[in-house]
Chains A and B, each alone.
Chain A
Amino acid sequence: MDWSLILSNTFRQMVGTDAMYFAIAALGLNVQFGYTGLLNFGQAGFMAAGGYGLGMTAWYFSISLWWGIPIAIVYALILGLLMGIPTLRLRSDYLAIVTIAAAEIIRLVVRSVRFKEQFGGTDGIGEFAGPFREVGSNLGIEQGNKYGFWVFEYTGRQFWTLIVGWILVAIFGFVVYLLMRSPWGRVLKAIREDEDAVRSLGKNVYSYKMQSLLFGGVVGAFAGMMLALDRGNVQPDNYSRDLTFYILTALVLGGLAKVSGSIVGPMLYWGVYVFIEGVLRGMTSDGPLQIGGVTIIQSTQVGQVQLMMVGAGLIALMTFRPQGLFGNREEMAFDDR
């Protein structure tokens, strides 16, 4: 097993594009779940809104890529209203049910043959990221060149996406940090602690919850846009139901209701994920791993083992350390009602 390769992959992925778009999505999810206590299980749907908002510009609307940003935001807002209006007056699990259903239906619709003209079917939409990459090369980042140092070496294309992405993480992180210290943010946290008390103080809880859902959803759309720009395409199966759950795991790992948690969590998540993958691939590279003649794992099964560990990690965190690595146990009061 090549440990230096595994470790360098691990470090590279910790600040790689996956960790980057996870961090953006987790920041949005944190506003909803961590600060307001809203169970949004459909963050993948918001990300799809972002990705397809960009992808459809050249493909379907025949307009410049940059219009995709407002289009994606509008998509996310519409989606948030659709999910929020029926559910935010009700118990918190209704939101979870509707968001998970809506995200799944979005995936079915965008991959359908019926709407292939709009969304490109199962192949998705490609070749729209050109204008974005041009900006990078205009700033002197050659797509073919290598950038970075030590193990952190990326192609010019990745490097440009990473710069933009992590700047977005910093901006959204800072905005969330400030917002949660504002009176608005304090109302959100109060709703998480005790909704009825907030209502009795004359605040419109429904409206605040809606604002939180929409804000987190728009941030999620930006995560979807960065994912699309990184891959250079949007594909329906990139926005599967379980994507939300992986982001949730990364967020809980870092710590709910903490800005640092939603940034460091995804980095650690991807570090651990890639490390496990490297070790398992190393063990199975010369044929299936066998103990006493019994096949334990084959190379084709590595992905499933990784994801089982993600699930187990989520369960362990919620059971034994719900505040994650950086969270504050006292901020985990959404359950005390």
Chain B
Amino acid sequence: MNVLKSRAVRVVFVLVTLLGVGLGGTSAHAQDSEYFIQAQVKEQQRDENGRPDNQPVVGVTITVTAPDGSEVGSAATDDKGVALIPVPAKGDYVVRLDESTLPEGQTIAATSNAEQVINESTFRTNRQIINFFTGESQRVEQSFFSRAAQRVADGIRFGLIIAMCSVGLSLIFGTTGLTNFAHGEMVTFGAMMAYLLNVRGLAFVSFLAFLPFIDDVGRFHILLATPLAVAIGGGFGYALDRFGFARLRRKGVGLISQMVITVGLSIILKNLFLFFFGGRRKPYRDYTLQEGLNLGPITITPRDLIVMLLSFVVLMAVALTLQLTRLGKATRAVSDNVDLASATGIDTSRVIRQIWVAGGALAALGGVFFGLDEQVGFDMGTQLLFLMFAGITLGGLGSAYGALVGGFAVGLFVETSTLFGVPTELKTAPALLILILVLLVRPQGILGRAQRVG
């Protein structure tokens, strides 16, 4: 993500923060004089770890004018970089930063304005906060090549995670025909379990604090929490099949009904996460502050590098297992043709159970890795779900190797799409394009087997 070099670069941009609730916290019927515009001027810097470390800028004059040009008030920023200007009511205002009062050598960025407009509709509380970020205008213009290299590196990382998460989704589809709309929540589940062990801790295991990786309030180091979360994720997959979908299959509940049931499961799990975890994104305790390594044109933290290597190793292990072991061969046989596999003496329901376990474990690992990269949130897996769908469709629905190849390709494609003018906020949108194009041109995907449909 971090395209900007950690040293010397002082990014300059302007952000308008609209704080919805919480500040002031008074009722909407407050008196006129209780409306304020709070302008905050900060010099955006980065500390040695490349994390934002903003400094207040003192003594900058901020002027508020009404739309007709009449001045409403002005103030200079205090030692916290804050200027508080009372306004008569909610309404449209223009907030201007007087650039001549900025300290020597500082400017407002090229990407921003010294003048910001507040609309009445955005005036949600009685204190409207507006941020001006300043700094030395030294934005490093990077060449297309170095930006591309960075995006490709990020894409590889993201692609490996998507591939890991998708294996279970694709294999469950291949063996049972079920499209599991709760698979995204299985990814979140893994990340949540690791968060529980790593950050919240289990107080009742604090007596084990003499062991490495466990501290005296029962919190596990992420190196230990991850394998545990993966194991719990596998157990979760087992439970879902044993107590859920295996029974439904026995009961003769059809696939479409089962699919709708996964939707219900997804709703329950997502809200369960929100219930216990809350809506904010939170990081794990370990390896959060890391300085990026400069490898040629790419900046990458050691954490991300290790996550990438581990992901690669795990995916190779999955591929080798599928290719060489009895279980792998049985899995491929079942996903190829359930009846034929069953006739050759393969215990299909056992294979399906094992796939749910493996799929749950891999989804959990993908979730932990994704959480290490971009923090843990209750809807992190939900947001990955449709990228996983795009990946396994591209690779071939039901094909195990297809999920690896397709998931990886989609991750890479999504990250690199920003190079070609796709805004970062919409970088997942091109995955829909992939999905539609694949279905139009080659619905069986890259590695799937053509089947007569319709």
**Residue ranges of A at the interface with B (Cβ–Cβ < 8 Å):** 37, 39, 41, 82, 85-94, 96-98, 100-102, 104-105, 108-109, 112-114, 123, 126, 195, 205-206, 241-242, 245, 248-249, 252, 301, 303-305, 307-308, 310-315, 318-319, 322, 334-336
Q: Please name all residues of chain A whose beta carbon is closer than 8 Å to the beta carbon of B179 when the two chains form the complex.
A: 93, 96-97
How many angstroms between the C-alpha atoms of A37 and B265 in the bound complex?
21
**What's the minimum C-beta distance from B121 to chain A, rounded to whole angstroms?**
7
Q: Quick check: is B426 within 8 A (CB to CB) of the other chain?
A: yes
**What's the minimum C-beta distance from B67 to chain A, rounded to whole angstroms?**
17
Tally of contacts, chain A with chain B, CB under 8 A: 145
Q: Please name all residues of chain B whose beta carbon is closer than 8 Å to the beta carbon of A310 when the two chains form the complex.
A: 264, 267
- Asked if A90 and B439 sit within 8 Å, CB to CB, the answer is yes
How many angstroms between the C-alpha atoms of A96 and B397 in the bound complex?
14
**What's the minimum C-beta distance from B24 to chain A, rounded to whole angstroms?**
20
Task: Tell which of B181, B248, B393, B453 touches A89, judged by Cβ atoms closer than 8 Å.
Answer: B453
**What's the minimum C-beta distance from B55 to chain A, rounded to whole angstroms?**
26
- Asked if B256 and A104 sit within 8 Å, CB to CB, the answer is no
- Asked if A335 and B254 sit within 8 Å, CB to CB, the answer is yes
Q: Can you offer 8 A-B residue contacts whose CB atoms are under 8 A?
A: A89-B443, A96-B181, A245-B267, A303-B271, A311-B264, A311-B266, A312-B264, A314-B263
Q: Please name all residues of chain B whose beta carbon is closer than 8 Å to the beta carbon of A123 when the two chains form the complex.
A: 121-122
On whether A305 and B275 interact (CB within 8 A), knowing A101-B431, A242-B267, A248-B263, the answer reads: yes
- Asked if A307 and B440 sit within 8 Å, CB to CB, the answer is no
- Asked if B256 and A334 sit within 8 Å, CB to CB, the answer is yes
What does DSSP make chain A's interface, helix, strand, loop or mixed? helix
How many angstroms between the C-alpha atoms of A304 and B278 in the bound complex?
10
Q: Please name all residues of chain A whose beta carbon is closer than 8 Å to the beta carbon of B454 when the two chains form the complex.
A: 88-90, 195, 205-206
Q: Please name all residues of chain A whose beta carbon is closer than 8 Å to the beta carbon of B258 when the two chains form the complex.
A: 318
Task: Tell which of A113, A205, A335 touches B257, judged by Cβ atoms closer than 8 Å.
Answer: A335
On whether A307 and B271 interact (CB within 8 A), knowing A86-B440, A90-B443, the answer reads: yes
Q: Quick check: is B346 within 8 A (CB to CB) of the other chain?
A: no
How many angstroms between the C-alpha atoms of A126 and B121 in the bound complex?
9
From residue 431 to 454 of chain B, which have CB atoms closer than 8 A to chain A? 431-432, 435-436, 439-440, 443, 453-454
On whether A308 and B439 interact (CB within 8 A), knowing A90-B454, A123-B122, the answer reads: no
- Asked if A307 and B267 sit within 8 Å, CB to CB, the answer is yes
From residue 269 to 328 of chain B, which have CB atoms closer than 8 A to chain A? 269-272, 274-275
- Asked if B390 and A312 sit within 8 Å, CB to CB, the answer is no
- Asked if B425 and A41 sit within 8 Å, CB to CB, the answer is no
Q: Please name all residues of chain A whose beta carbon is closer than 8 Å to the beta carbon of B88 when the two chains form the complex.
A: none
**What's the minimum C-beta distance from B454 to chain A, rounded to whole angstroms?**
4
On whether A108 and B425 interact (CB within 8 A), knowing A94-B439, A206-B454, A242-B267, the answer reads: yes
Q: Please name all residues of chain B whose beta carbon is closer than 8 Å to the beta carbon of A195 when the two chains form the complex.
A: 454
Q: Please name all residues of chain B whose beta carbon is closer than 8 Å to the beta carbon of A97 when the two chains form the complex.
A: 179, 386, 389, 393, 435
Q: Quick check: is B91 within 8 A (CB to CB) of the other chain?
A: no
On whether A112 and B426 interact (CB within 8 A), knowing A123-B121, A245-B267, A304-B275, the answer reads: yes
